[in-house]
Structure formats: C-alpha cells, structure tokens
Structure 1
Amino acid sequence: MSDYKERNENEIFTKVLKAGRRTYFFDVRETKAGDYYLTITESKKSFHDNGEASFEKHKIYLYKEDFKQFGEMFTEASDFIIDNKGEDVISERHDKDFKAKTFTIDSEDEL
C-alpha cells in the first residue's frame, strides 16, 4: 500500500482552519491497534525567488493520554499571552489598527 493511501485511510475526522498564509489541519487518525490519536499540522505557503510556491509543514502527534495536560498547558499559555498582550495583533507584518474581519450575509442580500 502506498504511503499516501495508508495515511489517508486511517483518518477518521478532519477540521481545517485557514489563517492567512497558514492553514491548520486537525486530523483524528487510527493506530494499527484501533485506538485514536490527533495530528495537528501547520502548513505555510511560501514563494521561492523564481515565484514558485511551496508549502512548509510542521506536524504534532498528540495521543489521548496527553490530552488533559496538553489542554491545561495550552490554556495556561494562551491565557498568559492574552492577559499580558491583549487580543490585538502586534506585528511588523500587520497594520497598527489591524482587526480580524467577519462578514455576515443576510438571505435577502445578493452576492
């Protein structure tokens, strides 16, 4: 069986978060023993000097025996960041007044 086919056959559940040039994949997969685990993949699009696009990927494998501690530490770290720096984005790549935008479309509105 090909590596690609084997990787995709054991996916049980997938959610995708698109965040600018980054995309995050949350995939529940099944081990050979029939248990589940989570992979979190960050895929970042970048461009070479010749204009050709490529994707840099980083992956975390998270097993259920670590979920509770991982969740607690994630919450503690994210709370620390928000408490100390707020929710506004501070980056040289963003405008000073950058705010995430959300859109609502009413059923009567035309696209």
Structure 2
Amino acid sequence: MESGDTNEGAKFKDSKFKQEIHSKVIRAGKRTYFFDVKSTRNDEYYLTITESKKRFGENGKYSYEKHKIFLYREDFTKFIESLQEVVDFIHGKQPEEIREDVEAQADTEEVAEEEEVSVKDYTNVEFEDI
C-alpha cells in the first residue's frame, strides 16, 4: 500500500508514512484543498488541511506551493465554532453586491457538481432489455 492510499481501517504501524484513512478534495479555482484524515502510531485520528496552488516559474516550469494545517481531535470543537463564527461575520459584513456574486458562483458550481454526479450514475438501458 502506498502512502497516498485511503483504504479505511488499514493499519500499517511500521510504515514511515502516516496512515491516511479518508480524504476529501475541493477544487476551487486555482487552488485545491485536501482534507485528509490520518492515523497516528497510537491509532488516534487527526485532520490535515492542505492548500495547494500551482505556481509557474520564470523557466516555464511549474511547481506546487503547499500550506498544511494539522488539527487534532481535542481542537475540533473550538476550530469548528471559530470557523463558523468568522464565516457568519463575513457573510453579515460583506457588501451586498459581493454576496450576490459569491452566491451566484456557488450556485453555478453546485449545478456543475450535480451534472457530474448524474453523468456518473447514468445507466445505459437498451429497449431490447426491457
């Protein structure tokens, strides 16, 4: 098993890599966010949040700039409460035209995600099968 595998429940205590249990990827414009649940050697779960952004160098080559946050179980409640508080503050204080632009963009992204899901769930049925 490679370090990037996300099979739930697999345990490799002798591995030099932290065990990944579950992952969620969010693509947001030029950035990609990764929410990864990992396991310590003591089988305690924690969360890493990684922001990845593609950067182009002067030589035409690109690299990825990454920033990572480690969040441990004992801090989840405080983190979630504080995040919700600042998001609510932003929503309440943001000028109306910016809120409308952000909401319209979010609606467009939701429709695109729904269309993507429906395409994946499509079943080809031939009339002869009925």
- Over aligned residue pairs, what C-alpha RMSD do you find? 2.9
Partner of residue 72 from structure 2, selected from 44, 63, 75: 63
Aligned match of 2:41: 32
Structure 1 residue 50: deviation in Å? 1.9
> Which of the pair is proportionally richer in helix?
2
Higher-Rg structure is 2
Q: Give runs of ≥4 in structure 1 deviating > 2 Å.
A: 3-7, 86-90, 101-108
Q: What stretches of structure 1 of length at least 5 have no aligned partner?
A: 91-96
Letter in 2 for 1:37: Y
**Corresponding position: 1:51 with 2:60:** yes
Instruction: Give SS of 1:34's match.
Output: coil
Task: Give the number of equivalent residue pairs.
Answer: 99
Q: What stretches of structure 2 of length at least 5 have no aligned partner?
A: 5-14, 123-130
> Which of the pair is proportionally richer in strand?
1
> Structure 1 29/89 Cα, relative in aligned 2: closer, same or farther at 3 Å?
farther
Letter in 2 for 1:52: K
**Corresponding position: 1:6 with 2:21:** no
TM-score by length of structure 1 reads 0.75
Instruction: Give SS of 1:40's match.
Output: strand
Q: Distance in 2 between matches of 1:22 and 1:87?
A: 25
